[in-house]
Structure 1
Amino acid sequence: MKIEYRRNLPHLQYVGATFFITFCLKGSLPAEVVRRLVDERQAALRQIQQKPPTSDEIVNVHKRYFAKIDRILDQGTSGNRWLQNRSIAELLADKIKSYDGESYDLIAFCIMPNHVHLVVDSSVQLEKVSGLSQPDDQHYRQLFTVLQQIKGSTAYGANRMLNRTGAFWQPESYDHVVRNVQELKNIVNYTLQNPVQAGLVTDWRDWPFSFLNERIY
């Protein structure tokens, strides 16, 4: 069962799936760079669609697109780095954890200076929609709704800390449905190692804004 919603990019919200989500601060991705990368991705998709593409080929195109986005975020050459403020990072971490066990099982996250990686399992909600032909808001809280709530409340709190107004988060998020156990392991490792790859620490355990739920993983 899946739900589709759109903003600038298509998203498939599979009910009960495990998700890898990335969202970032407003202005951390220059619009012209995003447009160029979107064009490159579309060209790559058109190329593989000259013959019936496999699901792995399509996924790999999207993975390459995301990897380029993440490298730009790690470089941090555009926008602000408000998430390196400990109070703001703690506010965000507490909000993410507040949905654990209710809207999702929280597996891992990493709060970088200008973006966030989040790995969650939404199957905790499956009992609520058992027997329903289509989940509704009363029985199932869709992932994009949870993200809106996380981003909305933390934007308000962070702006108060910074004594500013205006958009705090980029409206778009980048999400990926985790397909198997091995991919989950790779994604969790990628999430935790992000500060190491960005040159911020030498051991991921030294990064104060990383989280791994050892109860689940």
Structure 2
Amino acid sequence: MRFFNPHDDLLITQRKLPHWAQDGAVVFITWRTLDSMPQEVLEGWRAERNRWLVAHDIDPTLPGWKAQVQDLPLEQMTEYHEQFTTKWHEHLDLGHGACVLRQPELAQIVRDSLLYFDGDRYEMLDFVIMPNHVHLLACFPDKAALLEQCESWKHFTGVQINRRLGTKGRFWQQDAFDHLVRHEAQFRRLQRYIAENPAHAGLRSGEALRWKSSHHRSA
């Protein structure tokens, strides 16, 4: 377990979003249900974000735009995250969609899947299962395994949840949001965010499922 090192080998995979991975580095991952973000909200958020990036000489169509955001002066990088990363998560917490993961038996399917290969394919550090999305902190010894594992989690849990609900079709949004954690202070902030997310979203007891490793090392 370690934090992102800009001087080490880095894998960047371009799908709908650019994804960064590095051997052993802690990553913060969010994936959400297909109905968790209304299309008009998503399009408005993306258009506003792209205008901001272009105004700061960053081309959002290029795979390396996330690295350029991280290289901005601290004040501008903070502005970006306050305007767009924070707003993204606030939209999720509004509870759009059916929010079926509020049902404990369905959240348990996701929990069991996240922990199934813990200590083998990855080290799970912390997660919370919200009614329409999941936040987790984990590290992957093999950087190439990150996206593959996310797809495996989503495929398995999507099939199982659809079966329980008697529904068909895609359950999770295709792409995940992921961010390599840069330092201890950021890691602790993300842990607090995961811990406090149910309360910030106004959830009652039992409407979210939290898990935290009791034995992970300090990075």
TM-score bracket relative to the smaller structure = 0.7 to 0.9
Q: CA deviation at 1:45?
A: 1.8
- Do the aligned partners of 1:103 and 1:141 also contact (CA within 8 Å) in 2? no
Instruction: Name the Cα RMSD after superposition.
Output: 2.2
Q: Distance in 2 between matches of 1:160 and 1:4?
A: 34
| Identity across matched positions, percent | 29
Runs of 4+ in 1 over 2 A off after TM superposition: 46-50, 52-60
Q: Distance in 1 between matches of 2:155 and 2:35?
A: 17
Is 2:180 the counterpart of 1:181?
no
Corresponding residue for residue 82 of structure 1: 100
Is 2:188 the counterpart of 1:169?
no
Q: CA deviation at 1:64?
A: 3.5
Per-residue deviation, residues 129-170 of structure 1 (Å, max 9, x unmatched): xxxxxxxxxxx6521110000000001101110011111111
Q: Distance in 2 between matches of 1:64 and 1:214?
A: 34
Corresponding residue for residue 3 of structure 2: none
SS in structure 1 at match of 2:174: strand
Is 2:194 the counterpart of 1:191?
yes
- Do the aligned partners of 1:20 and 1:178 also contact (CA within 8 Å) in 2? yes
SS in structure 1 at match of 2:177: strand
Q: CA deviation at 1:60?
A: 5.2
Corresponding residue for residue 102 of structure 1: 120
Is 2:13 the counterpart of 1:10?
no
In structure 1, stretches of 5+ residues that fail to align are 127-139
Is 2:31 the counterpart of 1:23?
yes
SS in structure 2 at match of 1:101: coil
Letter of the 2:11 partner, please give it: I
Corresponding residue for residue 5 of structure 2: none
Q: CA deviation at 1:86?
A: 1.2
Q: Distance in 2 between matches of 1:192 and 1:166?
A: 31
- Do the aligned partners of 2:29 and 2:136 also contact (CA within 8 Å) in 1? yes
Letter of the 1:66 partner, please give it: T
SS in structure 2 at match of 1:108: strand
CA 1:60/1:181 → structure 2, altered by over 3 Å: closer, same or farther? farther
- Do the aligned partners of 2:130 and 2:208 also contact (CA within 8 Å) in 1? no
Q: Which has the higher contact order (CA 8 A, sep 6+)?
A: 2
Q: How many residues align?
A: 197
Q: Say which of 62, 72, 91 aligns to 2:91.
A: 72
Corresponding residue for residue 213 of structure 1: 213
Letter of the 2:195 partner, please give it: L
TM-score for the superposition, normalised by structure 1: 0.82
- Give the alignment of 1:10-159 within 5 angstroms: 10-49=18-57, 54=72, 56=74, 57-58=76-77, 61-62=80-81, 64-76=83-95, 78-122=96-140, 125=141, 141-159=144-162
Q: Distance in 1 between matches of 2:173 and 2:182?
A: 26
Corresponding residue for residue 131 of structure 1: none
TM-score for the superposition, normalised by structure 2: 0.82
Most deviating of 63-72 and 156-165: 63-72
- Do the aligned partners of 2:26 and 2:139 also contact (CA within 8 Å) in 1? yes
Letter of the 2:97 partner, please give it: G
